[in-house]
Every structure is written in structure tokens, then in C-alpha cells.
Amino acid sequence: MCFPICSARCMSFKTREGSLKAAKNLVEKGISNLVVIGGDGSLTGANRFRKDWSELLKELVESKELSCEVAANHSHLNIVGMVGSIDNDFCGTDMTIGTDSALHRIIEAVDAIMPTAFSHQRTFIMEVMGRHCGYLALVAGIVTEADFVFIPEWPPESNWPETLCDKLGGERRTGQRLNIIIVSEGAIDRDGNPITADAVKKVVVDKLQQDTRVTVLGHVQRGGAPTAFDRILGCRMGAEAVLALMDATPTTPPCVVSLDGNAAVRVPLMACVEKTQAVTKAMEAKNWDLAVQLRGKSFQRNLETYQLLTRSKPPLPTAEKTGWNLAVMHIGAPCCGMNAAVRSFTRNSIYTGNNPIGIHNGIDGLLKGEVKPIGWADVTGWVSEGGALLGTKRTMPDKDFAAVAEQLEIGRAHV
């Protein structure tokens, strides 16, 4: 039978009375090991509750709500946290439970909007969740190839309306039929004033007269079935939490089960809470570099990746150009994500001053000389495409090593 635990944002838990009531209830139910699954606010609250535990029991004894004996039997509360939040806003873990599923909802929504945008040559502004954290908007921007992203940690320069319109206008002039802009609900400018989806729409309509619509995704981002990643993340985190509680002693500091690369690890709850609060303080102080840095390496890398891949034109050549011919090909069966890899490969090759080359249709294509340079704009729209747009074959190079070598040599000379 289904026994839902459900969830709540309990404001009274923030008060002393609320905490006293919670402590009394736990003691009366004989609970001294607690797993808290929640976001930044929940884990901050759990950290405080654990810190206050002895004082709370003392107060309950003084007010005669608990006997000295019962309080003594519950002198320690072990707490293990797991970060469940679609926002991926907690420092200390690479991913929070629920973020991947929310991202998936966003991708589905953008994909579903593309046909209308394409047909009517419209600009769509998608508002996604993230009151204080731009992770969803940023990563959604990368994976949907959005033209512009507004996030709270990295506000645009004050001339953003011009920058935005230059980009959108330039793209339309090169034949792009639609534009997608992703706005985090917490997006702000460099003075800390909100940038709303409607304000962005007004800029696009006033300056470019583009047919523009706003779509607010709202709570659909929290719903639906969890993705494979979230299912496995939840399974692993839950199991690790039990092990952490079993290892806990009265002197063990409360921990959070978090994801470090591919490993489930335990990190101190207090340090994570403090670092997460430091991000808020950095944003309040308008120290955007620090805010991005405190969000962690994966956030920084995502921001860099977005800034690199979203350019509509290749960057101007730099002095350090090495000018290597870098070829990419598929061998074997296609799978999702291959085209995104070729797009990144292409753009990063150009970005670093090299010459990307596509070998079409695997080894068979190479033997037939199907070798062509790939340009910056050739790979636009590839991230969301399934299969292998370059074509692939299962043929291995040992079919004819000498002929393969000869083709590579020809390619080197002619590309």
C-alpha cells in the first residue's frame, strides 16, 4: 500500500516553540536518528535543530514536558541530510536529487515549443524555476542551445538590451527562424533589480518588433516521473544515509550525503550550509565572481561552456593559433548525445584556433573520401538531435588499414 510521507515548508519550525514541539515529538516517538531530505532551507533548519538539541531538551525538562530520565536517554540526535531540490542550489554536492528530472521537463517543454517558434518565426522567452539559483536556466540554456540566458549569479551588463538585440537580430539575418531565451525566475541585473520574462519580452518587441511569447513553466518542472539519473541518485543516497547513521557517534558532526563526481560521499552539513549562505551574501554584495566561484566547479564549468557554445559566430582568430586539422567520426551504432559531442568538438576546435573536420559515414565514408570541414554554424541545432548526423557504420579500420591511412593522408593535404 502507498504510504506517502509528503512534504511541507513549516514556518513554525523556524520559531523556538516549533522547534521545542518537534524535539518533544521525536523524543516521545523514540527517534534519535533522523534523515532530512530537502533543499537549502530544510538543511539549514536541520543544522540549527541539531545544534540546539541539548538546549531544547533542557528547556523541555525545565517546563516539565519531559522527564530528566527520558531526556537523558535522548541526549543525542544524529542527523544525516540528503539534498532534494530541483534548484541544485546546495554547495557540497555536484547534483541534488530532482534537478535532472526538472531539467528534463524543461528540455521537453522547449522541444515542444520549437515547432511553433520555427513555423511563426517567433522568439520564445521561457521562465524557469530558481528563485536564487540559476542552475536550471544555465544548463537548460546549454542543452536547448538557447540564444540568451538570464541567471541571478551572473547578471548581464547594464547594456544587456542592446547585447541581446544585437545577438537576436544578427541570428535572424543569418537565416535563423526562431530564438529561445531562458530566464531564471530569480534573474537580476547588476544592481540587484529583477529582470522578468515580461521585461525581456518588452525589449525584444520594442527594439526588434519580433513576434514574441512568454511561457512560464512553473510547477510542471517539479512533476512527472523521475529520470534514470534521479532514480539511481535517490537509491544510492538513501542507502548511504543509513550507513552514515549507523556510523554516527555522539561526537560525529551531522553530514550530508552528496555526489562527488560519481561517488556518494559524506560531507559536513555545517560547512555546506555556511558555503551555501556565503553564495547569498556574495550576491547581496554584488560580488558576482565570488558567487559563481562559491557555487562550485561544475557551475563554473557550465557557465564557461554556455559562454563558449552559445556564440552565434566563431571568435576572432587569436595569436596562439596552432591550426591543427582535428577530425571527428563515428564508428558503431548511433546513440543519443553523439551530435551534442560533435557540436562541442567543432566549436571548441574553432575556438582554440584549430580546423575541425567531419568524416562522414565512418570508415566506409573515409574510404570513399567523404571528408569535409565543419563550420561553426553547421552544427547549430545538433544538441537535441538523436542519432548520428555525421552518419556511422560498424566497419572497423582493419578492413583495409593501408587504404584508411591513404585517405587520412589525402584528407590532410586537401582539407
| Site residues (vs ligand F6P, CB under 6 A) | 39, 85-87, 129-131, 185
CB of 103 to ligand F6P, least distance (A): 13
CB half-sphere exposure, 374, CA atoms < 13 A: 29
Strand-by-strand arrangement of the 371-373 sheet = 325-328, 355-359, 371-373
Sheet containing 78-83: order of strands: 33-38, 78-83, 255-260, 263-268
On whether the CB atoms of residues 112 and 78 are closer than 8 A, the answer is: no
Element (H, E) at 266: strand 263-268
- Which residue lies nearer to ligand F6P by CB, 134 or 156? 134
Query: Do the Cβ atoms of 346 and 390 come closer than 8 Å?
Result: no
Residue 11 Cβ vs ligand F6P, minimum distance, rounded to whole Å:
12
Helix, strand, coil share (%) of the chain residues, nearest 5: 50, 15, 35
The nearer residue to ligand F6P, 9 or 368, going by C-beta atoms, is 9
Give, in order, the Cα–Cα distances in Å from 125 to each of 161, 178, 196: 14, 11, 10
Catalytic residue among 87, 94, 100, 230: 87
Burial class (CB in 10 A: 0-12, 13-18, 19+), 45: buried
Residue 13: exposed, middle, or buried by beta-carbon count in 10 A (0-12, 13-18, 19+)? middle
Task: Output 26 or 217, the one with its CB closest to ligand F6P.
Answer: 217
Residue 87 annotated in active site = yes
Of residues 188 and 363, the one with the C-beta less far from ligand F6P: 188
Write down the least CB distance from residue 86 to ligand F6P, Å. 5
Nearest Cα neighbor of 251 from 76, 375, 128, 96 is 76
Among residues 30, 80, 52, which one has the least CA distance to residue 243? Answer: 80
Our CA angle for 403, 405, 409, nearest 5°, is: 115
If one counts every other C-beta atom within 10 angstroms of the C-beta of residue 248, the result is 20
In the complex, minimum distance from the CB of residue 107 to ligand F6P, in angstroms, rounded to a whole number: 17
- Between 41 and 315, CB nearer to ligand F6P: 41
Nearest CB to ligand F6P, comparing residues 184 and 349: 184
**Which of 369, 361, 370, 367 is CA-nearest to residue 399?**
367
**Minimum distance from residue 362 beta carbon to ligand F6P (Å):** 44
d(CA 111, CA 97): 23
* Residue whose C-alpha cell reads 510542471 in the numeric block: 220
**Shortest approach of ligand F6P to residue 260 CB, angstroms?**
23
Q: How far is the CB of 41 from ligand F6P (least distance, A)?
A: 7
- Separation between Cα atoms, residue 137 and residue 181, nearest integer Å: 10
**Nearest to ligand F6P of 130, 296 (CB atom):** 130
CB atoms within 10 A of CB 166: 14
User: Is 137 or 204 the residue whose CB approaches ligand F6P more closely?
Assistant: 137
Which residues are marked as active site?
Answer: 87
